[in-house]
Homo-oligomer: A and B are copies of this chain.
Amino acid sequence: MSEWQTKQAGERVIQFFVIQDRAVKTASNQSEYMHITLSDASGTLQARLWDVTEKQKEAFQPRMVVKVDGRIEFFRGIRELHIYRIRLATEEDQLSMEQLVPHARRSKDEMWREIIGVIEQVKSPVLSRVLKTVANNRELRDALTSYPASKAYHHAYYAGLLEHMVTLSRAVRALSPVYEVNRDEMLALCILHDAGKVRKFSNAAAPQVTKQGELFGHLILSSDILLEAADEAGISRDHPEIETLRHSILSHYGDVENGWGSPVSGRTREAVLFHYLDQLDSKLSAMSQAAESASDTARGVYVPMLKRNMYAGEDLS
């Protein structure tokens, strides 16, 4: 929790924030002000910058990091920040995104090392080469290790996608002695099934859905990433292991009839098993995330992904 969350009216706040959104409005005295939605790792804060200049209107855009100096006020019981001074962050500020956005519980370096270890366990030469091609692509790797898995529903924070990959790969390794499945394909699925999220979203810190996200959806984008990696690794797109892996990616939203977006229903053991694992991992994450953000005095915790309150152990009556 950041300091500003406990500040009282009139107290001062000086720190870095990410601009989530902003709009210029006209005050009753005819002057213009900018209404800015700021965020840092602990949450979101509304702010006002009075008598905004033309230069400021241009300078401060969504996704930018700014240093702000201001004073807390209360409007209808809600904290607001009235800004005295504001400037863009610079290289010299030496900020890391993990300071500024909500993030996974473990460090991204540690989680990425775990994924590298997973890739090393893949015995199929074909899948191993594909996964290494992805892991060695700097741009992809940077995105895979920083993007959220979704905007709001589950793993909706910095490096949330990576955390989803890590937890799923643990589940797969745990279950592979229990169910007869192609372990290599299952591990590849953990890493690639949602890889398209890095094209669906515009960036890791203030994610918006991109044009490609709107036009294709992440199942198709993940399939694209797989095929591109196969091309780069010199493996035919018709290779049986590529085809069944692609099938499992395309069908991981479950049966076509669900109307969730799978263009094809799962027809292999791997596709069927992975769909349920992905569901349970996403939903348990959604529950954890809701529980963490709930205030102490709350009665039950509402989980948007499940559209209901969770029961957390104490008597609700």
Contact = CB atoms under 8 A, between A and B. Distances in A.
B273 A284 contact: yes
A177 interface: yes
**What range describes how many residues of A lie at the interface?**
35 or more
Interface in A166-216: 167, 170-171, 174-175, 177-180, 202, 208-216
A255 B308 CA distance: 10
Interface string A257-287: 1111111110111001100110110011001
A277 to B, nearest CB: 7
B280 A316 contact: no
A28 interface: yes
Contact of A310 (B27, B268, B284, B312): B268
Q: How many copies does the complex hold?
A: 6
B265 A216 contact: no
Contact of A311 (B246, B268, B288): B268
Contacts of A315: 210-211
Contact of A273 (B170, B211, B280): B280
Nearest to A272: B283
A120 to B, nearest CB: 20
B256 A269 contact: no
Given A175-B171, A308-B267, A316 B214 contact: yes
B263 A263 contact: yes
Contacts of A82: none
A116 interface: no
A263 B9 contact: no
B316 A210 contact: yes
The winner among A73, A258, A288, A311 for most chain B CB atoms within 10 A is A311
Q: 3 tightest A-B contacts by CB?
A: A259-B259, A174-B174, A210-B317
24 contacts: A8-B26, A9-B26, A9-B28, A25-B77, A28-B73, A28-B74, A179-B280, A180-B288, A202-B317, A208-B317, A210-B315, A213-B316, A214-B264, A214-B300, A215-B246, A215-B247, A216-B246, A220-B250, A259-B259, A262-B263, A267-B308, A268-B311, A272-B287, A276-B283
Interface of A: 8-10, 25-28, 30, 73-74, 77, 167, 170-171, 174-175, 177-180, 202, 208-217, 219-220, 223, 240, 243-244, 246-247, 250, 255-265, 267-269, 272-273, 276-277, 279-280, 283-284, 287-288, 299-300, 306, 308-313, 315-317
